[in-house]
Amino acid sequence: MTEFLQATVNGIATGAIYGLLALGFVIIYKSSEVLSFAQSGLMILGAFWVVYFSSVLALNFWLAVLLGVLLSALIGVAIERSMLRPMVGKPAFSVAILTIGLNIALTVIGFDLIGVEIRSLGDPWGIQKVEIGQLVVSQKDVATIVASVIVVGALLAFFRYSRFGLAMRATAIDQETALAQGIPVARVFAVAWAIAAGLATIAGVFLGAGTGVTAAIGVRAIRALPAAVIGGLDSIPGAIVGGLIVGLAEAYTVAYQAEYLGFLGQNFSTAVAYVVMFFVLLVRPYGIFGTREVVRV
Amino acid sequence: MRRRWIRIGALLAALALLATACSQDDEAETTTTAAPATTAAPATTTTAAATETTAAAATTTAAPEPGVVFGKGVTAEPCPDGNPDNGCIYLGVISDLSDGPFAPLAIPATAGIVEFWNKVNADGGLNGFDIAITADNTVDAQYNPSAHVEGYVEIEPNILLLAQSLGTPQTQAALPQYIEDNMFAVPATWWSGWAFPETDGNGLVLETGVSYCLEAMNDVDFVVGQLGTDFTYAVVGFPGDFGGDVAAGIAHAAGEYGLGDPVFQLTQVPLSAGGDVSEAVSQILATSPDVVFITTGPGELAQTMGGVFGAGGTALFIGTHPSWNPGLVAQEALLPALQAAYFQSGFMPTWFGESAGHDAARAAADAVGQDPNEWFLIGWASQYVVKALIEAGIGNGDITREGLVAAREQLTDVSFDGMLPNASYVGDANDVAPRESLINQVDPAAPGGTVNAAPMFVGPTAAAYDFSAPCFVP
């Protein structure tokens, strides 16, 4: 039972990181109908800013995170204004390809900035642990879960209670109607990219906390895409649930697969997100919470 | 439309400026990032010379050394910035200089190689020839066998031999070409197969130092010396020769001591290839081995130890030499665990090793602002055999590639200026292959981050091992 609970906690912490990244996918998709593949690039770059502020400029860690998130958000806005805005009205396929290219560019810049070393974030958790009964949980995992709850809660409150959040929801439902109602749709697109970039930065911080940031964290971030697809590309709760499903699936695979499904070989946990996505899409092609697309023939 | 392009241009320019500014700050912080600059430095004025080399493919007997025959990769004209009266021998490097699991090690190692030859040139060169490693002849293959082979094909006409060929799968992928071209290569890989003519292109691969396999046997000997034979162990390693060779060495030693099977043995996919250490962490926590023999890069080591100790686990980690990088000292959170529970095996005495070679390497590193790094020393030491080979070729009056193949038979007592025991490259592997390794432990106050815990030794298992075939064949 302890092993199961331990795996569950690990899975929730990992799933929370995937959830934050998947939220970025979903917020951009919902607001602008752009399927962005640039989240991992934004995450690498965002994690670097935090490393830069905390380790190179020796700022307080929390201030470094705040500045990193803000700078990433600005970059997100700049990307939207300069590269995505001109693509409004262009085929979704072209825009998606553009974001793939954008991801490559951001990743290359991030690799160059981070370099080949392991870069320290200067986070306060390190590899310290807390004991809850028989469970031993790393402080980083606890912090990841708590921070994700706070961030997601704040986002949900923003969408529900703030004027601009409501405007974003209205835009997500129908852009033309929103525009007719005086909602600044262009600004909505920019804010969506800013939020996505900020979320990616927070995810990068928790991926690199404790043992440091390497350029390789971007590879891990790619697994957030199945999380977004599983939850449904246009569902904010779906992104969270999708992230948790992927995180838990990985954790349980790590814990039990060797014992019960050894024939699948080692390191199967790195592929399980895609297996889950495959089966979910077989049953629900639009994801668990995704909106079914109705086409009038 | 025009405004759009202006906006895109402005964004790219801003990002580039930001990246440049931050990179410059980083260089002040970490020395390893400065290494490529050193590597590239000779290239600033060498493009023309390198092109000229390509043209000089045909064998010739022109100056500077009358009677010395040379061909591809050698010119009578001086090297860029070289001694004006000397000819030039061009060497190539194929390494991981920006990405790949071993880039943190490969960069200082490559810097060590470049500085070794800069020192040789500063001392007057090799009997009328300077040595040049130019950016044109340096390939950043990013641990990708295809890029390695493609890069090799590109630089082959320009070089006499490869001063570095990083990675076993990569070197193996290019070996048929090396054989076809009579191309000697210094491997930045310590697969046991490089000791055998059937698997190293009849001696074209010129390795320096003990193989992973024999090093692993010494590691087990060391642990047995510390803990006796009553301990459990696990083996975590990269796929392929690196992990495989170590695992084979551990298995042999475990058999000799009757340690039994490992509690688990896991192939760890490199993080840069999409791997994830959670399986290693989970299995270590679940099976609680006393000792983990880990054969990965520094990133995987850090995350695995962080995961285990962060979840309340503990184990003694013994890492083969590429598992360590001085950058790990900066991981303050991990440092106590590294100090308490990590030993690194290797074959190169630490930064303050006492030898003429160490003195020269340290002076060269100081001169270029290279921080203490074991891999700089390893790169430096790996070139003594090349120097001996070229000197033998010049002595024979033939530094064509074919001439060097003949000269190899004279490498019976290669000196490393005391950095390593003298070595022979001629004879049966069982008689001549190095078997000595050492054990280091982490000390953040020490240059390079490690101090010696057990000086060079050959454990009883490695000493008695019948080294008549590669321990592991990928």
Same domain, residue pair B382 and B328: no
Per the domain annotation, does B3 fall within a domain?
Answer: no
Determine what percent of chain A falls in helix, strand and coil, rounding each to the nearest 5. Answer: 75, 5, 25
Strand blocks (E) in B77-219: 87-95, 129-132, 138-140, 161-166, 185-188
Interface test with B, best of A44, A52, A117 (most B CBs within 10 A): A117
Per the domain annotation, does A296 fall within a domain?
Answer: no
Q: Which pLDDT belongs to residue B189? A: 92
Confidence of residue B9 (pLDDT cuts 50, 70, 90): low
Same domain, residue pair B203 and B301: no
Q: Is A196 exposed, middle or buried (0-12, 13-18, 19+ CB in 10 A)?
A: buried
Q: Which pLDDT belongs to residue B33? A: 28
Q: Which pLDDT belongs to residue B3? A: 57
Same domain, residue pair B323 and B373: no
Q: B318 is written with which tokens?
A: 């013994």
Contact A117 B286 (CB under 8 A): no
Same domain, residue pair B334 and B459: yes
Contact B32 A117 (CB under 8 A): yes
Contact A211, A122 (CB under 8 A): no
State yes or no: pLDDT of B124 exceeds 90. yes
Contact A212 B19 (CB under 8 A): no
Per the domain annotation, does A297 fall within a domain?
Answer: no
Interface check for B310 against chain A (CB to CB < 8 A): the answer is yes
Per the domain annotation, does B254 fall within a domain?
Answer: yes
Which range has the worst mean pLDDT, A142-151, B14-23, B180-189? B14-23
Per the domain annotation, does B403 fall within a domain?
Answer: yes
Same domain, residue pair B61 and B110: yes
Q: Which pLDDT belongs to residue B339? A: 96
Same domain, residue pair B204 and B331: no
Nearest to B279 among A113, A215, A266 (CB): A266
Average the pLDDT over B420-448 and give the result. 94
Same domain, residue pair B193 and B137: yes
Find the residue in A nearest to B298 (Cα).
A118
Size of interface A-B (CB pairs under 8 A): 160
Side chain identity at residue B123, one-letter code: D
Contact B373, B326 (CB under 8 A): yes
Contact A266 B7 (CB under 8 A): no
Query: What is the Cα–Cα distance from A176 to A131, expressed in whole angstroms?
Result: 53
What interface predicted TM-score (ipTM) does this complex get? 0.82
Q: Which pLDDT belongs to residue B36? A: 33
**Which chain A residues contact residue B266 at CB under 8 A?**
266
Per the domain annotation, does B251 fall within a domain?
Answer: yes
Per the domain annotation, does B470 fall within a domain?
Answer: no
Find the residue in A nearest to B328 (Cα).
A118
Confidence of residue B53 (pLDDT cuts 50, 70, 90): very low
Q: Which pLDDT belongs to residue A117? A: 79
Number of structural domains (chain A) is 1
Contact A117 B30 (CB under 8 A): yes
Confidence of residue B58 (pLDDT cuts 50, 70, 90): very low
Q: Which pLDDT belongs to residue B39? A: 33
Query: What is the Cα–Cα distance from B29 to B289, expressed in whole angstroms?
Result: 38
Contact A242, A287 (CB under 8 A): yes
What pTM was computed for the model? 0.81
Please give the residue that has the higher pLDDT: either A172 or B409.
Answer: B409
Contact A266 B8 (CB under 8 A): no
Secondary structure letter of residue B135 according to DSSP = G
Same domain, residue pair B224 and B284: yes
CATH number reported for the structural domain that contains residue A248 in this entry? 1.10.3470
Confidence of residue B326 (pLDDT cuts 50, 70, 90): confident
Q: Count Cα neighbours of B53 within 13 Å in the Cβ-side half-sphere.
A: 32
Window 229-248 of A, Cβ < 8 Å to B: none
Same domain, residue pair B48 and B185: yes
CA distance B148 to chain A (A): 19
Contact B64, B76 (CB under 8 A): yes
Average the pLDDT over B390-417 and give the result. 96
State yes or no: pLDDT of B24 exceeds 50. no
Domain that includes residue A183, residue range: 2-283
CATH number reported for the structural domain that contains residue B242 in this entry? 3.40.50.2300
Contact B306 A210 (CB under 8 A): yes
Please give the residue that has the higher pLDDT: either A134 or B27.
Answer: A134
Contact B186, B385 (CB under 8 A): yes
Same domain, residue pair B358 and B428: yes
State yes or no: pLDDT of B34 exceeds 70. no
Contact A118 B11 (CB under 8 A): no
Per the domain annotation, does B133 fall within a domain?
Answer: yes
Same domain, residue pair B129 and B247: no
Window 330-369 of B, Cβ < 8 Å to A: 330-334, 337
Q: Which pLDDT belongs to residue B11? A: 55
State yes or no: pLDDT of B454 exceeds 50. yes
Per the domain annotation, does B76 fall within a domain?
Answer: yes
Considering only CA atoms, give the Rg of chain B.
23
Q: A5 is written with which tokens?
A: 């609970």
Considering only CA atoms, give the Rg of chain A.
19
Nearest to B351 by CA among B380, B382, B373, B326: B373
Per the domain annotation, does A290 fall within a domain?
Answer: no
Find the residue in B nearest to A210 (Cα).
B333
Number of structural domains (chain B) is 2
Domain that includes residue B297, residue range: 212-346+437-464
Contact A270 B274 (CB under 8 A): yes
Contact B299 A216 (CB under 8 A): yes
User: Per-residue pLDDT for chain A (297 aa), expressed as one digit of tens each?
Assistant: 778 998 999 999 999 999 999 999 999 998 888 889 999 999 999 999 999 999 999 999 999 999 999 999 999 999 999 999 998 888 888 999 999 999 999 998 998 898 877 888 989 998 888 888 888 888 999 999 999 999 999 999 999 999 999 999 898 888 889 999 899 999 999 999 999 999 999 999 999 998 888 888 888 888 889 999 999 998 999 999 999 999 999 999 999 998 888 888 888 998 999 999 999 999 999 999 988 776 676
Interface check for A220 against chain B (CB to CB < 8 A): the answer is yes
Secondary structure letter of residue A42 according to DSSP = H
Per the domain annotation, does B25 fall within a domain?
Answer: no
Secondary structure letter of residue A81 according to DSSP = I
State yes or no: pLDDT of B225 exceeds 70. yes
Q: Which pLDDT belongs to residue A131? A: 87
Interface test with A, best of B95, B98, B140, B282 (most A CBs within 10 A): B282
Q: How far is CA A232 from CA A123, A276, B430, in A?
A: 33, 13, 62
Q: Which pLDDT belongs to residue B84? A: 92
Which range has the worst mean pLDDT, A119-133, A235-249, B288-302, B449-463? A119-133
Per the domain annotation, does A186 fall within a domain?
Answer: yes
Interface test with B, best of A49, A211, A217, A253 (most B CBs within 10 A): A211
Secondary structure letter of residue A56 according to DSSP = I
Secondary structure letter of residue B426 according to DSSP = S
Q: Is B368 exposed, middle or buried (0-12, 13-18, 19+ CB in 10 A)?
A: middle
Q: Which pLDDT belongs to residue A133? A: 83
Nearest to B319 by CA among B340, B346, B339, B299: B346
Interface test with A, best of B2, B3, B15, B26 (most A CBs within 10 A): B26
State yes or no: pLDDT of B66 exceeds 80. no
Same domain, residue pair B321 and B403: no
